[in-house]
Amino acid sequence: MKKLSERDKKHLWHPLTQHKLQPEMLGITKAKGCVLYDENGREYIDGISSWYTCMYGHCNDYILDSVKSQMSVLDQVVFSGFTHLPAVELSEALIKMLPENQQKIFFSDNGSTATEIGIKMALQYHFNKGNKRNVLLAFEEGFHGDTFGAMSVSGLSVYNGPFEEYFINVERIAVPDADNIGEILTYLNKRLEKKDIAGFIYEPLVQGAAAMKMHSAEGLDKILALLQSHDVLNIADEVMTGFGKTGKDFASDYIATKPDIICLSKALTAGLMPMAVTSCTQMVYDAFYSDELAKGLFHGHTYTANPLACTAALAGIQLLHTQEMQNNIARIIKSHQDFEKEIKKHPRVAATRQCGIIFAMDLNTQMERYGSLRDRMFKHFMDNGVFLRPLGNTIYILAPYIITEEQLLRIYSTIETCLDIV
């Protein structure tokens, strides 16, 4: 029988892939804990939790057992006109852990749809109130997904070039730092006089696709407070940062001004099932609560609030709040900080940064985001049994919370030897 990598070529079209340049796909046959196993019998430490999802490890027994029990009771049911226990219990668990101003939960399928719904909430909120606003504000270099609204507010043109003429109206501001926050606030004070900005969407503290670019909570808080005072809805895209990755449940927990809308996915279901949540305040919800049918939020997905996905999410939240998992997070943070102290001295390292369990370092070599040198780095990691995906000249780690110190040290060591090929 042909290998998976050979059979794959006949029909499959992969994401973020130019198949003429990258025809080969590695067949993965199983995963457990922090380890992926390929069809050749090789093992790889999953240093990025399979795109920041499997934070409690692959095929976690507690989560699997919970979902298996649910499968024999209720697998799927339409969520328009019906409800079910896993969705109700998950909503209660989420509201308990989300910032205290969040009161309502809207389910969808993935990170892009979570942000898409947040954008629609912001635009329709003002429309329903009779104050039509058609401009959205976003950070430069932000990334919020691949559907059209999400693409519109994303600033990475490498993904969006063919579609830009179809986008909604978006204006961008710089990510705040100690040097530019005054200039940003001055600009916004003047710009807000037009009263046409409906919402501001942002990745709090860490911009994932922008190569884990980080900014301060203080600067962001000043922006959020100013916008909120002008009835601009703040939309926190916590698809990547949510569920413990920054050291707290959510990155928004570090910021005094709480968002009006929060977008969640990825680690929400611990990587087991696709699902997303868009939460909002009572104020946002009340703008849709009306005797007029057309003022409702008419957005729906077939698998909205799938009972199995809700069950996986509940189990993940329970694990996150165990003392063992919190100790693991603290241990990883300490290990990253120790590694950072040493690696930042390396002559080929231009900069390092760390937020919670997220660690990133920039090399002092310019390279294309998906260029040949980046590919050589990726091959080096895989050849050494470590799955990391460099973003241009940025190497980052975002491993599962259950990773061992031995596995972390292997990742660190492989990064150090990688510097020799740059």
Q: Of all residues in the chain, what percent carry a pLDDT higher than 90?
A: 91
Rg of the chain in Å (alpha carbons)? 22
SS3 414: helix
Tokens 């002008």, located at residue: 230
Number of domains in the chain: 2
For the segment 276-304, the average pLDDT, to the nearest whole number, is: 97
Q: What is the pLDDT of residue 290?
A: 97
Residues 160, 264 within the same domain:
yes
Top pLDDT among 140 and 157 is at: 140
Sheet strands (E) in 65-169 = 102-108, 135-139
Going by C-beta distance under 8 Å and a sequence separation of 6 or more, which residues neighbour residue 79?
87, 107, 300, 304, 305
Residue-wise pLDDT for 330-349, tens only, equals: 999 999 999 999 999 999 99
Summary mean pLDDT of the chain: 96
Residues 411, 396 within the same domain:
yes
Domain finish residue from 295, 320, 345: 320
Q: Cβ(251)–Cβ(204) under 8 Å?
A: yes
Going by C-beta distance under 8 Å and a sequence separation of 6 or more, which residues neighbour residue 394?
211, 212, 360, 361, 362, 363
Please say if the pLDDT value at position 403 is more than 80: yes
Residues 241, 95 within the same domain:
yes
Question: Each residue of 252-275: b (16+ CB within 10 Å) or e?
Answer: bebbebbbbbbbbbbbbbbbbbbb
If pLDDT is split at 50, 70 and 90, which confidence band does 113 have?
A: very high
Residues 22, 118 within the same domain:
no
Of the candidates 253, 277, 248, the one whose C-alpha atom is nearest the C-alpha of residue 265 is 277
Domain of residue 28: give its range: 4-60+323-421
Please state, in angstroms and as integers, the Cα–Cα distance from residue 42 to each residue in 118, 137, 399, 407, following that order.
41, 46, 19, 15
Q: Of all residues in the chain, what percent carry a pLDDT higher than 70?
A: 99
Top pLDDT among 5 and 69 is at: 69
Q: What is the pLDDT of residue 171?
A: 97
Residues 34, 73 within the same domain:
no
Residue-wise pLDDT for 300-333, tens only, equals: 999 999 999 999 999 999 999 999 999 999 999 9
Distance of alpha carbon 286 from alpha carbon 302, whole angstroms: 25
Domain finish residue from 320, 344, 368: 320
Q: Cβ(256)–Cβ(263) under 8 Å?
A: no
Residues 174, 211 within the same domain:
yes
Q: What is the pLDDT of residue 158?
A: 65
Domain finish residue from 303, 320, 337: 320
First to last CA, the chain: 39
Distance of alpha carbon 126 from alpha carbon 230, whole angstroms: 12
Residues 305, 371 within the same domain:
no
Residues 257, 273 within the same domain:
yes
Residues 141, 285 within the same domain:
yes
Q: What is the CATH number of the domain that holds 145?
A: 3.40.640.10
Residues 332, 230 within the same domain:
no
Residues 45, 96 within the same domain:
no
Q: What is the CATH number of the domain that holds 384?
A: 3.90.1150.10
Q: Cβ(115)–Cβ(149) under 8 Å?
A: yes
By DSSP bridging, strand 386-387 and strand 43-46 are parallel
Q: What is the pLDDT of residue 159?
A: 66
Cα atoms in the Cβ-side hemisphere of radius 13 Å centred on 287: 21
Please say if the pLDDT value at position 251 is more than 70: yes
Residue-wise pLDDT for 28-38, tens only, equals: 999 999 999 99
Residue-wise pLDDT for 175-210, tens only, equals: 999 999 999 999 999 999 999 999 999 999 999 999
Crossing angle between the packed helical segments 307-320 and 323-343, to the nearest 10 degrees: 70
Tokens 């407070």, located at residue: 225
The amino acid at 100: E
Residues 83, 52 within the same domain:
no
